Amino acid sequence: MGTRRILHVDLDQFQVSVERRRSPELAGVPVIVGGDGDPTQPRKVVTCASYEARAQGVRAGMPLRAAYRKMPDAVYLPLDTDAYDDASAEVMTVLRGFGPVEVWGWDEAYLGADDLDDAAAAQLARDVIDTIAGHTGLPASIGISDNKQRAKMATNFAKRADADAGPRVFRLDADNWGEMMGGQPTRELWSVGPKTAAKLATIGVTTVDELVATPKDDLIATFGPHQGNWLYVLCRGGGDSTITVEPWEAKSHSHSRTFPTDLVEPGELHAAVDDLTAEVLRHVRDEGRIVFRVAVTVRTATFYTRTKSRKLAAPTVDVEQIGPPVHALLDDFDLDRPVRVLGVRLDLVPTED
């Protein structure tokens, strides 16, 4: 007999993966995304680092200048929130084909599934990873459990697996909780940050097993009733199994193209945005939606990446009204370098309830 399963889906090195999708030559190259892509600028931080960069000590939240000192030869790219919004929406659309989904950000979500045994849950996870990769080209890892907190912790184990060995999936539940988590530092528990871990250490608790052995009254005395009770439940593998599904609709549709040979001639560039606009507009019309703003993204051979947008005079799906502003945006770029990637985005009028 199967049980309720929660799958935590986590997109691997998400922003970097999106950048590599539109610039495949970046595969295997250290890539660091953050700020405006200039690592010499002050007060800018790393948003995402590829695994190659992480191996050299670069981490999200690190100042870009510090990352540059560690890896001056890495490729530095600006944060492109529109591209990540679009890529995330693609993935969440795929996930909704498998069941109820609770979105937790650009790169992670929970998928609920009922009446599955261990083998069926693992097969579902593999199918989800393969389908995401097939539809979007983005890699993912999945943790499986009976609640959201434990499923997210399972994903941490999945991410440590060798990606070349197949889909990265890990199950963490009552059967292996003590074995996998007992000796782990308390920081490995979902929601236990450095301050909580330090406070636990003051009462002699540094591992999950030691936290399990701590009386509930002692935790309440140290942390108060809310957090104390939560830590008591969390260290035993407890958590929330509710999937909250919110109404969702696409805010935009976009498409980008990486050219086998960089484009230089204005005529080639304008012909390419014509094709991209027509392709995106087909999706918009298929959904019965209306466009109110257009945007064009350009990436040159030097990885300079920028997006420009313009609101239309009136919402429409008429290509005769959409095309000229798209071409005008392209002309706004000072393209003195060959172009390797072009993208067109069409922002959509929200539907009425």
The DSSP output letter for 350 is: P
What are the tokens at 69?
């000192």
Distance separating alpha carbons of residues 281 and 285, to the nearest angstrom = 6
Give the count of beta carbons closer than 10 Å to the beta carbon of residue 282: 11
Active site residue 246: no
- Amino acid 121 reads A
The answer to whether 325 and 268 have CB atoms below 8 angstroms apart is no
Residue keyed to tokens 């890699």: 139
Residue keyed to tokens 């950000």: 105
Strand 75-77: give its sheet, edge to edge.
48-49, 31-33, 75-77
Round to the nearest angstrom and report the end-to-end CA distance of the chain: 40
Residue keyed to tokens 């790393």: 46
CA 296 to chain centre: 22
Q: Which of 19, 90, 102, 108 is catalytic?
A: 108
Which pairs count as long-range contacts for 220-229, CB under 8 Å and 24+ apart, including other chains?
Answer: 223/196, 223/199, 227/196
Distance separating alpha carbons of residues 36 and 41, to the nearest angstrom = 9
Alpha helices in the chain (DSSP H): 14-22, 51-54, 64-70, 81-96, 118-136, 148-159, 177-181, 194-201, 208-212, 216-223, 225-234, 266-286, 319-332
The answer to whether 303 and 23 have CB atoms below 8 angstroms apart is yes
**Active site residue ranges:** 108
